[in-house]
Structure 1
């Protein structure tokens, strides 16, 4: 029993058991010792914490209030002890990993699968969200690592580049741009766009690319999934900016035309907070990812 929590745990155990004898047995201490601790605690607080019914103890209003806070404090202490243990053990523990929806079909599963071959006892707590939200979660300490795109603008984040994907314009079959080997994005300035929601990485890339091309895209629908965007393109509702690696070249009714220019790329990377140390399993996973072979096939 850890010293940080021992002073709270006996009270919580007594409150949950409702009997000194039973609580003393669970705690492994003598019944008179536990009775003295309770008397000392009630004296120091200045109120009774239990109503006595023979050998039975029932929390009164004061005791219920103390129990609520003591239970919460114990849960926090237990969580802190677990996190401290994870800081020093690279073979056990949990990696809190966030990632974009679009990376959940290829990158993240491959990384976790291959990492588990070397560290099978490490667990993962996964969370999907938009790129802007993932950076905020890392900085707030809700996650250890996040696979994102493009590189967040927020300060205080480490960055590991994982992939550079050529950007393309998805257009319907038979579209005037469909037969070109490549295009400038300004060639699509008059087209209706199927775009991702604001705060999504692909939406930021579209807005930045259109600004460089000198136009504001006319957006007719906003989606949270790239697959939905290309599906609507196949229906003839517009065009969409997509990364070639995640575009389905066999999708019925869709042609993917590469966009010309060295800045027409999507950088995919991993971020973490620079203001605090990574736990041992998170550090091990990040170092593994840095050496991982992500070539196709």
Structure 2
């Protein structure tokens, strides 16, 4: 018994005549008859009764066809799966990003992506940028968003977004009355700082040092969301990503522009070990559309 004999048998059963099966398979009718005879010898029983030139399936032939039909269904499923992998990649998507984008950009983008790909399982993790970079460098995740302070070696890194930093202030803070906050306004003021490796903090520190300004540091954190929460609790003020801060404004957090402007810059990361699948490319499209929508909202 071989695959070709099974294919001929399946074609005869589906088309009911050897001549029609030969047309479908694009072989001669004698070749069909020969394949059926060889299969009958192989299995040890008759598959068809030859009645008045017609091939009528025997009961044994009918039983065998049930098994053959199941195997052909399996082959169709395999072909469909192969087509999906070719066109879309795997049925899962793994994304990691810095936490500043986890409450705004990512929910907007993933909602649109999920509507387009309802059967794709999404794994999302909010991590520190250095951890996002590591997940991408080792090929554990498909797509990442990280701050620009990371080491971009061993990953495919491209500029993704740029957002002006805002100063987060507790309700009733004296600086909340200003339209914008200048460096000199922060001298001696309780200040919640981002982590020393953060490029936005380094950019702001250079401006403050150049003007001889020294805020009173009360807390350091790598996360804008923590700065927002601590500022809202009255511990001080701090520079934050406005995308993160939006959710705290209804609770009373005050945001004011800091001048001269400093920015949060985001990188899009992809693993260098493989080309992005169509699923990844589609997700990237949704991320870019969400970023444009947020730019218009924040403008």
Indicate the TM-score class for this superposition, using the shorter chain for normalisation: 0.5 to 0.7
- Alignment-derived partner of residue 25 in structure 1: none
Please say if residues 162 and 269 of structure 1, whose CA atoms lie closer than 8 Å, have aligned partners that are also in contact: yes
Which structure: greater helix fraction?
Answer: 2
**Count of residue pairs the alignment pairs up:** 209
- Alignment-derived partner of residue 249 in structure 2: 249
Please say if residues 157 and 270 of structure 2, whose CA atoms lie closer than 8 Å, have aligned partners that are also in contact: yes
Q: Indicate the structure (1 or 2) with the bigger Cα radius of gyration.
A: 2
Which structure 2 residues correspond to residues 197-276 of structure 1 after superposition, within 5 A?
A: 197=195, 203-214=198-209, 218-223=216-221, 225-247=223-245, 248-252=248-252, 254-262=253-261, 264-276=262-274
CA separation of 1:222 and 1:228: change in aligned 2, threshold 3 A = same
2:125 corresponds to 1:137: no
Please say if residues 160 and 290 of structure 1, whose CA atoms lie closer than 8 Å, have aligned partners that are also in contact: no
How much does 1:212 deviate?
3.3
How much does 1:101 deviate?
2.0
Q: TM-score, normalised by structure 1?
A: 0.59
Distance in 2 (alpha carbons) for counterparts of 1:85 and 1:218 = 60
Which structure 2 residues correspond to residues 116-127 of structure 1 after superposition, within 5 A?
A: 116-127=114-125
CA separation of 1:277 and 1:172: change in aligned 2, threshold 3 A = same
Q: TM-score, normalised by structure 2?
A: 0.59
Q: Is there any run of 5+ residues in structure 1 with no aligned partner, and where?
A: 1-83
Please say if residues 181 and 259 of structure 2, whose CA atoms lie closer than 8 Å, have aligned partners that are also in contact: yes
3-state SS of 1:155 partner: coil
Distance in 1 (alpha carbons) for counterparts of 2:201 and 2:122 = 32
How much does 1:220 deviate?
1.9
How much does 1:169 deviate?
1.2
Distance in 1 (alpha carbons) for counterparts of 2:265 and 2:84 = 30
Please say if residues 92 and 121 of structure 1, whose CA atoms lie closer than 8 Å, have aligned partners that are also in contact: no
Q: Is there any run of 5+ residues in structure 2 with no aligned partner, and where?
A: 1-81
- Alignment-derived partner of residue 188 in structure 2: 190
Distance in 1 (alpha carbons) for counterparts of 2:208 and 2:147 = 21
How much does 1:97 deviate?
0.6
3-state SS of 2:177 partner: coil
